[in-house]
Chain A
Amino acid sequence: GAVVSQHPSRVICKSGTSVKIECRSLDFQATTMFWYRQFPKKSLMLMATSNEGSKATYEQGVEKDKFLINHASLTLSTLTVTSAHPEDSSFYICSASDLGSSGSYNEQFFGPGTRLTVL
Chain B
Amino acid sequence: GQQVMQIPQYQHVQEGEDFTTYCNSSTTLSNIQWYKQRPGGHPVFLIQLVKSGEVKKQKRLTFQFGEAKKNSSLHITATQTTDVGTYFCAGLRSNTGKLIFGQGTTLQVKP
Is A46 touching B100 in the complex (CB atoms < 8 A)? yes
Task: Give residues 27-52 of A contacting B (CB, 8 Å).
Answer: 31-32, 34, 41-46, 49
Identify the interface centre among A41, A60, A111: most chain B CB within 10 Å of its CB. A41
B42/A112 in contact, CB under 8 A? yes
Q: Whole-angstrom distance from the CB of B51 to the nearest CB of chain A?
A: 13
Whether B101 pairs with A44 at a CB distance below 8 angstroms is: yes
Tell whether B80 is near chain A: CB-to-CB under 8 Å.
no
Closest CB-CB distance, B25 to chain A, in whole Å?
14
Q: Of A31, A43, A110, which is within 8 A of B104 by CB?
A: A43
Closest B residue, CB atoms, query A111: B42
In chain B, positions 59-111 with a C-beta closer than 8 Å to chain A are 88, 92, 94, 96-104, 106
Residues of A in contact (CB 8 Å), total 25
Contact of A113 among B33, B42, B45 (CB under 8 A): B42
Partner of B42, one of A32, A41, A93: A93
A32 to B92, CA, bound (A): 14
Measured CB to CB, the closest approach of chain A to B72, in angstroms, equals: 15
In the assembled complex, A104 has its CB within 8 A of some CB on chain B: yes
- Inter-subunit contact B48/A110 (CB<8 Å): no
Chain B residues with Cβ below 8 Å from A1 are 44-45
Would you list which residues of chain A between 86 and 118 have a CB under 8 Å from chain B?
93, 95, 97, 99, 104-105, 107-113
Give the chain A neighbours of B97 by CB distance below 8 A. 31-32, 34, 49, 97, 99, 105, 108
Closest to A108 in B: B99
User: Are B42 and A43 in touch, CB under 8 angstroms?
Assistant: no
**Cα(A41)–Cα(B105), bound, Å:** 10
Q: How far is the CB of A77 from chain B (nearest CB, A)?
A: 14
Asked if A110 contacts B30 (CB within 8 A), the reply is no
Q: Measured between C-beta atoms, what is the minimum distance from B52 to chain A in Å? A: 16
Q: Tell which of B30, B44, B45, B103 has the most Cβ of chain A within 10 Å.
A: B45
10 contacts between A and B (CB under 8 A): A32-B97, A42-B103, A43-B103, A43-B104, A46-B100, A46-B101, A99-B97, A105-B97, A107-B33, A113-B42
